Structure 1
Amino acid sequence: MSNSKETTSSDCNDSQNRDCNPKKMEHEDSNLCPPDIPSSSPPQILSLSELMETANEVSKMTIAHEIVVNHDFKLQEVNFSPNSLESRMKETLHKAFWDSLREQLSKMPPDYSHAIKLLQEIKKTLLSLLLPRQTRLRSQIEEALDMELIKQEAEHGALDIPNLTTYVLGTMAMLCAPVRDEEVQKLRVVADPVHLLREIFRVLDLMKMDMVNFTIQTLRPHLQEHSVQYERKKFQELLNKLPGSLACTTEWLRKAAAEVSTSDLLSFSSTSEINGSPVPPSPMAAIHSPTAVLNQAYMDLLHWEPGKEDYPETLLMDKARLHSLQVEVNQLAIIAAVLLVSSSTCGSNVFRSSLGCGDRLKQVTKTLLEGLPDTRLEDALLDISSQIHQEVNRTLLQLGYPALSTDKATSLKGQLGSLADKDNAVRILIEQRIQTFLRHYLCPSGQNSKNLLQGLGPIQEELLEVGQRFGSLINHNRQVFGPYYSGILKKLLLQEGKSDIGTVS
């Protein structure tokens, strides 16, 4: 991943996250050519060719982005479900083609026209699998699969398909990845030439996929080095074609700026009450740090309302990843809250015993919450309370203690069920701690700190992993689109400042 920009850890510890460095964003962007953000204009009508070209550019940018941010990214064969229309059509067309080939080869004399085309395609595929340094093998393939010679042999009825396929299988065995060795070996015992050719093509398709994925892995360090410039360049090209395409991003940042303003006012009000001071905040406080606003905007992505369509244009490529993180964070909050309530009600000694009760309850809770929408959380918590009751009683008996009393069991069930309420005090506390921890990951220098995991011990391992993914994703986005955010925020924040203090110098 691209190197993260340097910040100071002390700034990252600000509980309100006002900024990792008050002038950081402006300083970072000062060395960049400012992006050419087209002014708002009426929708532009693109021709079909322009739409296709734009879609192609988006596809290129998306693939490059996916390779850089997703270390597990690889191309895979598309498999349709057996009963789908696509699967039936594919099977029908393939059967018709191979039946036609069988019919041609069964003629007297055989008709090799289709077979020759297949051999030519096989040769082309084998050559595409070669590395630049494999010049000797390239020459051997060119000689063994000399298409002019093959055509002449076919014309004289002397084409030896078994001999050619034997050579092809030997070459495939040399070129394939170890994972394909067994499949290539299986082809050596296939006697039917038509079936053999069909299977050769199937395995060659897999080998091409292996080669593409190998190339991706090889090029990933180079792509990571240049990804920021590449993505920004492609995005600018899209903006030039589609003026006014940052409307959702602007609105996203505007809402974040409003949240920061509200947070500042609440903070000032609270401080004034404590200190007994009625002195109003400084007018310059109206102009917030762009980085503080952007960090708030990033945190808002973990609370995105399901079905809300106006997602920031600069984050569309990561929308699915961020939604997945949001789901994980919500589940971790419930798991931590369930374990905290259970431990408090049933006694921490039960959870800390060598019998592993805490770990089992965590796994049970995680399993029952897996893939569950918030609308069914109340039902899940009912099942969870029942499972926890049984597990705790089993552990108490093993430790030689009496089972939970009826009052405690009822209290446990009620407290766990109340976690379905978003205003539940325990749930709010856990969510706030998780948000504080994840906010720390917006500052690259703070990503190794574990001092914010107080009360989150049971989910520490999962939370650290989520934090690393979230921080990595956000810091890459910040590097790519930082100049755009800076331009938008300067306008938004200056306007906000003018409304409060007149002219900003």
Structure 2
Amino acid sequence: MPKPRPQPQPRPGDEQPPREDAGHSGEELPVPGPPAASPPQALSMNELQQITDDISKLTIVHEIALNSDFKLQAASFSPKSLENRVKETLHKAFWDSLEEQLSASPPDYTRAIQLLQEIKEALLSLLLPQHNQLRSQIDEALDMELIRQEAEHGALDIHGLTVYVLGTMARLCAPIRDEEVRGLQSLTDPAQLLREIFRVLGLMKMDMLNFTIQSLRTHLQDHTVQYERKKFQELLDKLPNSLDRTREWLCKAAAEVSVSSSQLPSHPAVSGSPAAHSPGAVSSSTTVPSLTSVLNRGYMNLLCWEPGQKEYPETLFMDQARLQEVQAQVNQLTIIAAVLLVTSGMCGSTLCGSPGFVARLKRVTKVLLEGLSCTRYEEALEDISNQVLQEVSRTLSQLGYAAFTTDKCASLKGQIKSIADKGNAVRLVVAQRIHSFLSLFISPDGQKSQKDFPKGLDPIQEELLEVGRRFGSVIHHNRQVFGPYYSAILKKALLPDAEPDSDVGMDSF
């Protein structure tokens, strides 16, 4: 006789404490550097798969460190994609086969037993280390050897097993899954019920992973720099000579710093400025720039990355989308601030001091720029000039002032539309001030001097501060992870005859 099965236990609270971390060894990693040059070698499929897996792990850890809203998502394919059609075909074949086996006389429990084994493993994976009693209950209730014996004697109670599984799922699931788990209790077809149990368990496992990530985020951030550097070095060992774009990016920045330090006042590069078009090599007659100044210039250059330019440096691939979003926001804020400055200059302090006037201009300008690339600013500024003129006319009327003359209206519209030109004087001044301010966020001690907000940019202060914080967060993490690589590259490029441990011209950061 089969031994009695335990009944589902009452459900405790929904909250789950974080899993205990396995800990870290605490050992220090060697300071990495670019790998020595070696001839390219063909990689096997296994090696390529390993590299892909390493990149995936590195990307996940990087996202956890920089994205507070990061969550793992179940893999999904487009409904019409080949991958989705193959997946659906295979799944349908499996579940149709299960239904046929359970409907046979006598029933064939081969696939059902395989599923119950996987369901048991899924339930056990959701347990925390302190859930010893529940672990024993699951092992006893889903005793696979007993289940096989029952199947052989035609005494397997699929319904009783699924009732226990659903009760356990109800105890372990997050509150967001309560309704889905309750919905499973109304299913009577065993094949359909097992299929839905499998689906919801997959969601619960994802919930647990994301809960664990959030719980351990602070602890993970303490170690992510060492982990990322270690994994990146492993990739470099497998793919020698894979920092060419990083080297080119740094050498270009070094050349710009050398030229600007000898000819021009030091300032962040803005597209269209002389420094932005400096040669890509450092003149031997110039002073060797510091690592900090080169990196600051290189990072600021990312905000002027033109569409169609060479690919991002390898060390910034994981942050390319984030940095491009920052660049788009900077471009948008530049246009908004320029429009407001031009309007203020034409309308005077009395009109611009009218309650809500500047806020309304800012709002309409932002709406008309939303989602547009730089290449479409000209048409947007045409619409913006019309909306600004309408708002000016309405406010003048409300305040009892005379309307602008035809010539003044045309002048205002023309000045606003001319902002589309990258060489526009107002646009260049605004861009220079924004870039100078953002450069404070990427300097080691720069955030201490952020109290001095640039003149004329008060209407975009809140947005600019947020962009600066996001930009600074990405850059500071990048410095921590890849600083040793940058140092090694620049020493080799700028000081080829220096001793390996020489730090001449390279200050700390």
Does residue 467 of structure 1 match 2:468?
yes
Give 1:139 deviation, angstroms. 0.8
User: Residue 176 of structure 1 is aligned with which of 173, 178, 181?
Assistant: 173
1:137 Cα deviation from its structure 2 partner:
0.6
CA contact (8 A) 1:67 1:73 kept: yes
Correspondence 1:406-417 to 2 at 5 A: 406-417=406-417
Partner of 1:447: 447
For the residue of structure 2 that corresponds to 1:447, the secondary structure is: helix
Aligned to 1:83: 80
The 1-side partners of 2:411 and 2:134 are apart by 75
Alignment of 1:132-147 (within 5 A): 132-147=129-144
Tell me which residue corresponds to 1:71.
68
* Pair 1:206 & 2:203 matched: yes
Provide the rounded CA distance (Å) in 1 between the counterparts of 2:312 and 2:354: 47
Shift of 1:185: 1.8
**Separation (CA, whole Å) in 1 of partners of 2:211 and 2:55:** 23
* Length, aligned pairs only: 455
Q: Is the 8 A contact 1:381 1:416 kept in 2?
A: yes
The one-letter amino acid of 2:186's match is V
The CA distance in 1 between the partners of 2:318 and 2:453, in whole Å, is: 30
Letter of the aligned partner of 1:224 in structure 2?
A: Q
Partner SS, residue 197 of structure 1: helix
Report the CA distance shift for 1:410/1:204 in structure 2 as closer, same or farther (over 3 A): same
Paired with 1:170 and 1:217, the residues of 2 have a C-alpha distance of: 27
- Does the CA-based 8 Å contact 1:62-1:317 persist in structure 2? yes
Counterpart position of 2:55: 58
The structure that is helix-richer by fraction is 1
Shift, 1:378, TM fit: 0.8
Aligned-partner Cα distance in 2 for 1:312–1:119: 49
Say yes or no: does 1:368 pair with 2:365: no
Q: 1:400 to 1:151 in 2, by over 3 A?
A: farther
CA offsets, 1:439-458, max 9 Å, x none?
A: 11112332252313322112
Q: CA deviation at 1:284?
A: 8.6
How far did residue 295 of structure 1 move?
0.9
- Conserved? CA contact 1:335–1:362, under 8 Å: yes
Instruction: State the TM-score, normalizing by the size of structure 2.
Output: 0.83
Give the alignment of 1:126-165 within 5 angstroms: 126-165=123-162
Unaligned runs of 5+ in 1: 1-30, 270-282, 498-502
The one-letter amino acid of 1:415's match is: Q
Structure-2 change in CA distance of 1:411 and 1:52 (3 Å): same
* Partner residue, 1:28: none
Q: 1:169 to 1:242 in 2, by over 3 A?
A: same
Q: 1:496 to 1:447 in 2, by over 3 A?
A: farther
One-letter code aligned to 1:188:
Q
**Cα distance in 1 for residues equivalent to 2:329 and 2:440:** 18
- 2-side partners of 1:218 and 1:261: how far apart? 46
- Structure 1 residue 261, shift from structure 2 partner: 1.9
Report how far residue 34 of structure 1 moved: 4.6
Partners of 2:461 and 2:265 in 1: how far apart? 33
Show the counterpart of 1:242.
Answer: 239
Are residues 211 and 407 of structure 1, via their aligned partners in 2, closer, same or farther at CA, if it must alter by over 3 Å? same
Deviation of 1:32 after TM superposition, in Å, equals: 9.1
TM-fit CA distance, 1:313: 1.9
Percentage identity across paired residues of the two chains: 65
2:216 to 219, 232, 256: 219
In structure 2, what is the Cα distance between the partners aligned to 1:220 and 1:387? 46
Q: Deviations over 1:6-42 (max 9, x none)?
A: xxxxxxxxxxxxxxxxxxxxxxxxx995534333343
Provide the residue aligned with 2:494 in structure 1: 493
Do 1:346 and 1:404's aligned partners in 2 also have CA atoms closer than 8 Å?
no
Matches of 2:232 and 2:342 in 1, distance apart? Answer: 48
- Cα offset, 1:93, TM superposition: 2.9
Q: Which of structure 1's runs of 4+ aligned residues deviate more than 6 A?
A: none
User: Which residue pairs with 2:359 in the alignment?
Assistant: 359
* Deviation, structure 1 residue 300: 0.9
Q: Distance between the aligned counterparts of 2:256 and 2:181, measured in 1?
A: 61
Distance 1:393 1:215 in 2: 57
**Structure 1 residues 350 and 136, CA gap change in structure 2 (3 angstroms):** farther
Q: 3-state DSSP class of the match of 2:264? A: helix
CA 1:135–1:345 in 2, change beyond 3 Å: closer, same or farther? same
TM-score normalised over the length of structure 1: 0.83
Kindly provide the amino acid, as one letter, of the partner of residue 490 in structure 1: K
Q: Which residue of 1 aligns with 2:261?
A: 264
Q: 1:398 to 1:194 in 2, by over 3 A?
A: farther
Cα displacement string for residues 420-468 of structure 1 (whole angstroms, at most 9, x for unaligned residues)? 1000011101100010011111123322523133221121111111111
Preserved contact between residue 35 and residue 240 of structure 2 (Cα < 8 Å) = yes
Aligned residue for 2:391? 391
Query: Which structure has the higher relative contact order (CA within 8 Å, separation 6+)?
Result: 1
Q: 1:187-336 counterparts in 2 under 5 A?
A: 187-267=184-264, 286-336=287-337
Contact 2:72 2:206 in 1 (8 A): yes
Question: Structure 1 residues 89 and 47, CA, compared in 2 at 3 Å: closer, same or farther?
Answer: closer
Unaligned runs of 5+ in 2: 1-27, 267-283, 499-503
Contact 2:33 2:488 survives alignment (8 Å): no
Q: How big is the shift at 1:74?
A: 1.1
Contact 2:328 2:373 in 1 (8 A): no
| Equivalent position of 1:418 in the other structure | 418
Q: Distance in 2 between matches of 1:350 and 1:159?
A: 84
1:37 is aligned to 34
2:262–2:286 CA contact under 8 A, matched in 1:
no
The answer to whether the 8 Å contact 1:287/1:496 transfers is: no
Residues in 1 aligned to 2:29 and 2:109: alpha-carbon distance in whole angstroms: 62
2:281 corresponds in structure 1 to none
C-alpha distance in 1, partners of 2:147/2:412?
80
Residues 231 and 480 of structure 1 are in contact (CA less than 8 Å); yes or no, is this contact kept in structure 2? yes
Question: Which one of the candidate residues 100, 107, 111 is aligned to 2:108?
Answer: 111
Q: 1:398 to 1:149 in 2, by over 3 A?
A: farther
8 Å contact 1:290–1:490 — kept in the other structure?
A: no
Distance 1:89 1:393 in 2: 62
Question: Is 1:379 aligned to 2:379, yes or no?
Answer: yes
Contact 2:397 2:403 in 1 (8 A): yes
Q: After TM superposition, give the deviation of residue 331 of structure 1 in Å.
A: 1.2
Change (3 A) 1:409 1:165: farther
Query: What code does the residue aligned with 2:183 have?
Result: K
Letter paired with 1:414: G
1:345 aligns with 2:342: no
Q: 1:422-441 maps to which residues of 2 (within 5 A)? A: 422-441=422-441
CA contact (8 A) 2:381 2:420 kept: yes
Give the AA of the match of 2:381.
Answer: L
